[in-house]
């Protein structure tokens, strides 16, 4: 926790093949920048890393089915201190019509 600012939640959900990520914080002055690291189940390294941005939301297009987890880094623009929180694992499945 920095100056009372915390990450309250990291929500991740799939819509089709798009992983939609929303971060909720207690940052009334909008002093945070956000980076999103996407991990796939079974992979040690992140399959995608975003740059820092001012928006607490992000979208990632998944190309293969499996479990995905997001780690959010929230950096204070003034002090460069970083908060982190991870989402629960969410599944991306491809359903074929026959």
Percent of the chain at pLDDT > 90 equals 77
Per the domain annotation, does 98 fall within a domain?
Answer: no
Tell me if 82 is assigned to some domain.
yes
55 inside domain? yes
Dihedral of CA atoms 64, 40, 55, 27 in degrees, nearest 10, equals: 150
pLDDT for 37: 98
pTM of the predicted protein model: 0.90
What pLDDT shows up at residue 28?
Answer: 77
| CATH number of residue 58's parent domain | 2.60.40.10
44 occurs within a structural domain: yes
pLDDT at 93: 85
55-87 residue pLDDT tens: 999 999 998 999 999 999 999 998 899 999 999
Domain span at residue 88?
Answer: 7-92
> What total of structural domains would you count in the chain?
1
Average pLDDT, the chain: 92
Backbone region of residue 47 per phi and psi (left: phi > 0; alpha: psi in -120 to 50; beta: other values): alpha
Residue 1 lies in a domain: no
| pLDDT above 80 (res 41) | yes
């Amino acid at each position: 926790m920095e100056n009372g600012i915390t990450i309250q939640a990291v929500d991740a959900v799939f819509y089709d093949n798009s992983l939609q990520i929303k971060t909720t914080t207690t940052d009334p002055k909008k002093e945070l920048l956000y980076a999103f690291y996407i991990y796939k189940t079974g992979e040690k390294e992140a399959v995608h890393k975003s740059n820092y941005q001012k928006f607490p939301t992000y979208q990632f297009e998944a190309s293969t089915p499996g479990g995905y987890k997001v780690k959010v880094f929230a950096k204070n623009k003034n002090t460069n201190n970083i908060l982190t929180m991870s989402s629960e694992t969410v599944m991306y499945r491809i359903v074929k019509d026959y």
